[in-house]
Structure 1
Amino acid sequence: MSKRLPSNFKRKHAATLIALSLGLTSQAAFSQETPQPEEDELVEQILITASKRSTGLQETPIAVSVTSGEAIEQTQVLDIQDMQALVPTLRVTPLQRSTNTNFSIRGFGNGTNNTGIEPSVGVFIDGVYRSRAAAQIGDLPRVQQVEVLSGPQSTLFGKNASAGVISIRTDAPSFTQEGKVTLGVGNYNQRLLRGYYTNGITDELAFSISGGINKRDGYTDSVVDGVDELNNRDRWNVRGQALYEPTSDVKLRFIADYSEIDERCCTVADFINGPTTGVVRALGGTVLDTDDPFAYESALNFNPNNQVEDGGVSLQLDVDFETFSFTSISAYRNNKSNYFADVDYTSLDILSEEGHTDIDTFTQEFRLTSIEVTTN
Structure 2
Amino acid sequence: MNKNKQLKKKAVSLEGFVCIFLIGLVFYTLAHKMGGINMINTLIKTAHDLLINTVFFIMGVAVLAGAFASILSEFGVIAMINKFLSPLMKPLYKLPGAAAIGILTTYISDNPAILSLSADKGIKKYFKNYQLPALTNLGTSFGMGFIVSAFMIAQSTLLNKSLVIPVIIGNVGAFIGSIVSVNLMIHFTKKTFKNINIEIEKDESIDLEVINYREIREGNAIERLLDAILEGGKMGVKMGMDIIPGVLIICSLVLMLTNGPGPHGYSGAAYEGVQVLPYIGEKLGFILKPLFGFTSAKAIAFPITSLGAVGAALGLVPQFIKEGSITPREIAVFTSMGMTWSGYLSTHVAMMDSLGYRKLTGKAILSHTFGGLAAGIAANLIYTIFIS
Q: Common fold, TM-score beyond 0.5?
A: no
TM-score, normalised to structure 2, is 0.22
Larger helix proportion of the pair: 2
Higher relative contact order (CA 8 A, sep 6+): 2
Give the strand-richer structure, 1 or 2.
1
**Greater Cα radius of gyration, structure 1 or 2:** 1
